[in-house]
Amino acid sequence: MVDQLLLHIDGRNVPAADGGTFTVASPTTGEVLFEVSHATPADVDVAVAAARAAYLDRRWWGIPARDRARVLNRAAAILADRVDDLAREETRQIGRTLREMRAQLRRLPEWLEYFGALAATWEGTVPDFGPNHLNVVRRVPLGVAGLITPWNHPLLITMKKVAAALGAGNSIVVKPSELGPAVPLALAGILEEAGVPAGVVNVVPGLGPTTGRALSEHRGLDKLDITGGTETGRVVAANAGRNLVPVTAELGGKAPVIVFDDAPVEAAVAGALFASFIATGQTCVQGARLLVQRTIHDEVVQALVARTRALRLGDPLDPQTQIGPLVSQAQRAKVVEAVGRAQAQGATVLCGGRVPEDPGLSHGWFYEPTVIGGITPDHDLWHEEVFGPVVVVAPFDDEGDAVAKANDCPYGLAASVWGADTGRCLRTAQALDVGIVWVNDHHRVDPASPWGGTKESGLGTENGVDSFRGYTRPHSIIVSTAAQPFDWFASTQELRYS
Ligand code: NDP
């Protein structure tokens, strides 16, 4: 039976104003899993109004910060209890392997705990204002935040934004991806069960060009926070900008993985596989460009190709499966087209590069993990984000060449550097024009560690104190402490303004 999913507005699950729906199908089998209410612009208005009312009467941000933290900690505990069910749901919806979704979701309570701890311990400042005044600066919530999220980590990315926004005391309206709305909707229920008041968390599933557009154009927002593709980010940021709504945007990437000649080959190849093929390559920080020092290039590529060929594709709910399907027919078509174009431009497919022939996989959007050589900066595939299980490999000569090749990219989200010479790895890391660099690792994320990119990878940051701060604004109170009354017009002396 197909499950029905409704909008979540002001603490209630409600259908769309016009009764409209869309469906979510399994990327593994094609079967329809959910019929989801499609929020209209009128529904977005109601959700923003509910969030505004919750902000204005201070039902959430007016309670002591340590009580807000307690509620977030309770939500973390409920979430921890339900992780296995939610992980299964994520796997059914988006096709990522159950093993990956369990590993990811098990960490998500930490985001609620971390931002709860920041809420409970955050302090204002008292800047020096001269002898006759005391200046108290509090950080207060912005108000109503619109959150637009993608499908590739439906709960992780929603959680990064929700935990920071709620910790700082905001009310929110979430527009989850049309491909993965179930678990973000479940999160709203968990938060309210833990004690977040109705109206603070609203979820409006729908399509980008309708529901997402209505939210991004809404004049009732105080912040818009999106994770998505770079072109979507431009449109959404322009919409919000017209209303002078500040934007945080986590966008596309094309992360380089740099392997120096002193890296143990086995470890570097294991790292490259992890960087490139987790989530079937559908992550913004995917190691999409493997740059290997020329002296060990052939050895590394040979080992990488052998291990890539051995990866097991299959039903993502099966614990033995290592690579699930791509999320949708459109996503697979994009990968097929990008690889075909690379071949037409002269690149060589070293393994994969095709839809698998196994009839057992014919109902899903599978694509073989692919390694491509013979690639140069003249090829489209050097620069463009494919968002699939495709990695290009190229040699470099020395540290300077590695940095130049890595930085030759419109994106600047993440990179990793592999090698035994710590000084060289750190020099290289510091020279990379990206937001996040891992050394001898990849993909690691923590609620305390900033996450955001340079160039076309976006604006602002998630995680850490900067993210919390970005959901607040200063509220400055200046108190006169002067012993004498102040009367400007009673005198012609040069009086101080402060
Ligand atoms: P999209 O840009 O297609 O969509 C992201 C969200 O924006 C979805 O909710 C989508 O709605 C919505 N949207 C689409 N068009 C509009 C519009 N015109 N107005 C308002 N909202 C709109 O990205 P994907 O979901 O395909 O996710 C993949 C992309 O996300 C990749 O480029 C990836 O690099 C990036 N990403 C970045 C991360 C980071 O941290 N920097 C992390 C993860 C992913 P709909 O539901 O219809 O799709």
pLDDT of amino acid 491: 81
Over residues 207-248, the pLDDT tens digits come to 999 999 999 999 999 999 999 999 999 999 999 999 999 999
Measured from the Cα of 179, ligand 1's closest atom is: 46
Rounded Cα distance, 100 and 96, in Å: 7
The separation between CA 164 and the C-alpha centre of its own chain, rounded to angstroms, equals 13
The span from the CA of 163 to the CA of 148, in Å, is 14
Confidence of residue 494 (pLDDT cuts 50, 70, 90): confident
End-to-end CA distance of the chain: 70
The rounded radius of gyration (Å) of the Cα atoms in the chain is: 25
Task: Note whether 247 and 239 are within 8 A (CB).
Answer: no
Predicted local distance difference test score (pLDDT) of residue 260: 98
Average the pLDDT over 59-88 and give the result: 98
Structure tokens at 84: 């296995």
Ligand 1, pocket residues at CB < 6 Å:
148-152, 157, 175, 177-178, 207-209, 212-213, 216, 227-229, 232, 235-236, 250-253, 284, 385, 387, 413, 453, 457-458
Report pLDDT digits (tens) over 262-317.
999 999 999 999 999 999 999 999 999 999 999 999 999 999 999 999 999 999 99
Q: Is the pLDDT of residue 498 over 60?
A: no
pLDDT, tens only, 119-143? 999 999 999 999 999 999 999 999 9
Q: Which residues pair with 136 in a beta bridge?
A: 477
Q: Residue 2: its pLDDT value, please?
A: 85
In whole numbers, what is the pLDDT of the chain averaged over residues? 97
Tens digits of per-residue pLDDT, 233-244? Answer: 999 999 999 999
Q: Which of 149, 177, 179, 218 to mutate to test the pocket of ligand 1 (most atoms within 8 A of CB)?
A: 177
- Note the pLDDT of residue 152: 95
Question: What is the predicted pLDDT for the residue at 294?
Answer: 98
Has residue 104 got a pLDDT over 70? yes
Q: Per-residue pLDDT tens for 267-280?
A: 999 999 999 999 99
**Vertex 483, ends 481 and 485: CA angle to 5°?**
95
- Which residue matches tokens 């008292």? 126
Percent of the chain past pLDDT 70, that is, above it, reads 99
Whether 172 contacts 147, CB under 8 Å: yes
pLDDT in tens, 320-369: 999 999 999 999 999 999 999 999 999 999 999 999 999 999 999 999 99
